[in-house]
A = this chain, B = another copy of it.
Amino acid sequence: MANDGTQREFYCGLDAALSIVGGRWKFLILWQLAVQGPQRFGQLRRMVAGISEKVMIGALKELEADGIITRKDYRTVPPHVEYSLTSSGTSLAEALNPLCQWGYAHMEQIENRAEQLAAR
């Protein structure tokens, strides 16, 4: 690993990509925005079932800082904020497609694993 003064070094594009879409929720948010189109905060949160408000907001901020999504605040009361993908976000979602396909094809294999791991 080189050390040329930049804050982060990546071995391959993979850890750059996974630093964005890694974690438990962010890829789901990305996916929802890709499939459903632009969404309001509340809508989006209902689609990503189980996520807490706090984590949702944190994830959205990171995705925004990464240039993956855009936040549009209509500055009304009650508030109305809409999130949508940037072009980077769209291309990222496309790059995620093969992985998604792979996942579908191997779901049973993976679900069986869950039981094995339970016995750890």
**Copies of this chain, tallied across the complex:** 2
A31 to B6, CA, bound (A): 23
Known contacts A18-B27, A92-B106, then 12 further A-B pairs from the complex at CB < 8 Å, ordered by chain A residue: A6-B111, A8-B114, A13-B103, A14-B27, A15-B27, A16-B104, A17-B99, A17-B106, A62-B117, A67-B113, A88-B106, A97-B98
Residue of chain B at shortest CB distance from A98: B95
**Complex contact A12–B65 (CB within 8 A):** no
Proximity bits, A66-100, B CB within 8 Å = 1, else 0: 11000000000000000000001001101111111
- For residue A36, CB closer than 8 A to chain B, the reply is no
Interface size on A, residues (CB 8 A): 53
**Complex contact B31–A110 (CB within 8 A):** no
